[in-house]
């Protein structure tokens, strides 16, 4: 029995066993700290934290947030989890809730902020800090607006007047993304909105100012006596978050494709194959454990690899099998990143699909460039100069020349794809087909000789 099961069993026993008069089970508050960039790791922490809070039947979840933002797709997953949580989720902004952090905060049932904290500035930017094109801003505006709208409206009676207003004004949420949005008496055009704690209280984007999580719980949640359980990520949680990073996944794809390519260029099974297998395990394992990669998606990837190998070693030329293999590999890698079930993509958002596609294409593109670069470096210089054969063999070894065989006829002793063995005048020679693949037993004629090999073509009857 693990500690969580024991903790839950203890709470059930306390609920069943008769207690002393006046004794009560204190409410359980589950705390999750998010104090880093919003990425795969923080999304994983929130997901596991909410799952554990549900298992322990917590009365409330308090997220202590301090972030400058991060990945929009991860923030989208986190805000969705918060919006649809069965347990009420509260946010304590402990200094900063910028960009993706603002989106996550707006999803919570209540927002509390430390004095001097800020929330807003949710414009989508690239790695250099420059604003992305409007199509990205449009999606972020819609997410911010819909998240604010999800909290509904309040009916306020003021004297004889009845006023219906948004709990959180969607226009204010939109102004945090788009500098063109104007909110009278708050923000003019040309500025992206960021609210201080006091301003957030005034415009109903903060439900109270507190100096600590404890103050939020006692003063605003109303729990004078309570149990506090804090989510503690395990080493496996941190490792999974790292392995599921888009950048690391692209690197793994690079190693998978590069390893397969270089393994096919060398005899036997060696380091490239081992690297590709390890990279594939590291790529699919966390996705499979997390429920993203299904058995059939991994099978699609394996079938793609087998089709490519068959195209190279079994089937002449490059056609349907090779193209199908490439498409299967790309499909297997991409679908494993998406939260779909048997091609049902209803729960897959645009950013999720875009991230998965970009991750795979980045890995494949990098692998292609790396293969070209390494191939050009193998030889007299470069990373593999110590394992490559660089000695000029022209002076060191006497290479036999078979000029006397030119024009002679013989038989293909093996299949020539395009190289193989041929019989000429009762002797076996290394032969290379000058045209198409030549089947075993086909009559051939020597066209020329070079590097101790004869070049042949089939004799047409």
Report how far residue 120's alpha carbon sits from residue 105's, in angstroms, rounded to the nearest whole number: 10
pLDDT band at residue 144 under the 50/70/90 scheme:
very high
Q: What are phi and psi of 218, to 5 degrees?
A: -80, -40
Say if residue 364's pLDDT is above 70.
yes
For residue 23, the model assigns a pLDDT of 55
Q: What is the DSSP-derived secondary structure letter of residue 286?
A: H
Of 69, 126, 75, 71, the residue nearest 99 (C-alpha): 69
Q: Which residue has the tokens 């603002």?
A: 102
Total count of residues recorded for the chain: 461
For residue 14, the model assigns a pLDDT of 54
Q: What is the DSSP-derived secondary structure letter of residue 220?
A: I
Percent of the chain at pLDDT above 70?
81
Report how far residue 212's alpha carbon sits from residue 226's, in angstroms, rounded to the nearest whole number: 15
What is the rounded average pLDDT for all residues in the chain?
Answer: 82
Of 45, 44, 56, 42, the residue nearest 86 (C-alpha): 56
Say if residue 230's pLDDT is above 90.
yes
Say if residue 315's pLDDT is above 80.
no
263 or 248: whose pLDDT is higher? 248
Tokens at 20, concatenated: 């002393």
H/E run at residue 411:
strand 409-412
CA distances to 45, 193, 195, 196 from 199, in Å: 30, 11, 6, 5
Q: What are phi and psi of 187, to 5 degrees?
A: -145, 135
Q: Tell me which of 25-34, 142-151, 418-427 is least confident.
A: 418-427
Q: What is the DSSP-derived secondary structure letter of residue 72?
A: H
For residue 396, the model assigns a pLDDT of 46
For residue 93, the model assigns a pLDDT of 97
For residue 381, the model assigns a pLDDT of 47
Question: What is the tens place of the pLDDT at every residue in 251-260?
Answer: 888 888 888 7
Report how far residue 292's alpha carbon sits from residue 434's, in angstroms, rounded to the nearest whole number: 49
Q: Is the pTM of this model over 0.85?
A: no
- Calculate mean pLDDT across residues 281-309: 81
Report how far residue 34's alpha carbon sits from residue 241's, in angstroms, rounded to the nearest whole number: 14
The answer to whether 39 touches 71, Cβ cutoff 8 Å, is yes
Rounded to a whole number, what is the largest CA-CA distance in the chain?
114
Say if residue 383's pLDDT is above 50.
no
Question: What is the tens place of the pLDDT at every residue in 401-453?
Answer: 567 788 888 888 888 877 888 888 888 888 888 777 788 888 888 888 887 78
Report how far residue 262's alpha carbon sits from residue 434's, in angstroms, rounded to the nearest whole number: 25
- Calculate mean pLDDT across residues 209-218: 96
pLDDT band at residue 11 under the 50/70/90 scheme:
low
For residue 380, the model assigns a pLDDT of 47
Q: How many CB atoms lie within 10 A of CB 92?
A: 28
Report how far residue 330's alpha carbon sits from residue 399's, in angstroms, rounded to the nearest whole number: 45
Report how far residue 334's alpha carbon sits from residue 297's, in angstroms, rounded to the nearest whole number: 9
């Amino acid at each position: 029995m693990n500690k969580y099961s024991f903790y839950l069993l203890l709470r059930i026993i306390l609920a069943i066993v008769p207690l002393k008069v006046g004794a009560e089970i204190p409410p359980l508050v589950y705390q999750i700290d998010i104090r880093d960039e919003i990425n795969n790791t923080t999304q994983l922490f929130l997901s596991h934290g909410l799952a554990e809070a549900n298992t322990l039947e917590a009365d409330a979840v308090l997220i202590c947030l301090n972030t400058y933002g991060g990945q929009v797709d991860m923030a989208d997953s986190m805000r969705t989890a918060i919006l649809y949580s069965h347990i009420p989720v509260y946010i304590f902004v402990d200094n900063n809730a910028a960009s993706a952090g603002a989106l996550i905060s707006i999803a919570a049932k209540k927002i509390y902020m430390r004095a001097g904290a800020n929330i807003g500035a949710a414009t989508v930017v690239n790695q250099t800090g420059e604003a992305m094109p409007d199509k990205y801003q449009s999606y972020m505006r819609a997410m911010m607006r819909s998240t604010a709208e999800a909290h509904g409206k309040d009916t306020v009676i003021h004297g004889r007047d009845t006023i219906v207003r948004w709990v959180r004004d969607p226009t204010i949420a939109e102004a945090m993304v788009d500098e063109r949005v104007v909110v009278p008496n708050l923000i003019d055009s040309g500025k992206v909105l960021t609210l201080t704690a006091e301003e957030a209280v005034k415009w109903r984007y903060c439900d109270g100012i507190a100096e600590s999580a404890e103050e939020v719980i006692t003063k605003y949640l109303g729990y004078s006596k309570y149990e506090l359980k804090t989510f503690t990520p395990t080493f496996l949680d941190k490792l999974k978050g790292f392995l599921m990073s888009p950048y690391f996944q692209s690197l793994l794809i690079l190693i998978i494709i590069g390893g397969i390519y270089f393994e096919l260029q060398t005899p036997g099974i060696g380091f490239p194959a081992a690297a590709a297998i390890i990279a594939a395990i590291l790529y699919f394992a966390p996705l499979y454990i997390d429920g993203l990669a299904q058995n059939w998606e991994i099978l699609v990837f394996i079938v793609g690899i087998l089709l490519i190998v068959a195209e190279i070693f079994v089937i002449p030329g490059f056609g349907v099998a090779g193209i199908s293999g490439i498409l299967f590999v790309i499909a297997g890698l991409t679908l494993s990143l998406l939260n779909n079930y048997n091609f049902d993509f209803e729960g897959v958002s645009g950013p999720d699909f875009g991230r998965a596609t970009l991750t795979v294409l980045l890995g494949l593109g990098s692998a292609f460039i790396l293969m070209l670069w390494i191939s050009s470096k193998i030889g007299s210089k470069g990373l593999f100069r110590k394992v490559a054969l660089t000695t000029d063999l022209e002076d060191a070894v006497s290479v036999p020349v078979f000029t006397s065989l030119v024009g002679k006829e013989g038989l293909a002793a093996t299949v020539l794809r395009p190289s193989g063995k041929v019989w000429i005048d009762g002797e076996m020679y290394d032969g290379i087909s000058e045209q198409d693949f030549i089947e075993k037993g086909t009559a051939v004629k020597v066209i020329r000789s070079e590097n101790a090999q004869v070049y042949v073509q089939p004799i047409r009857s």
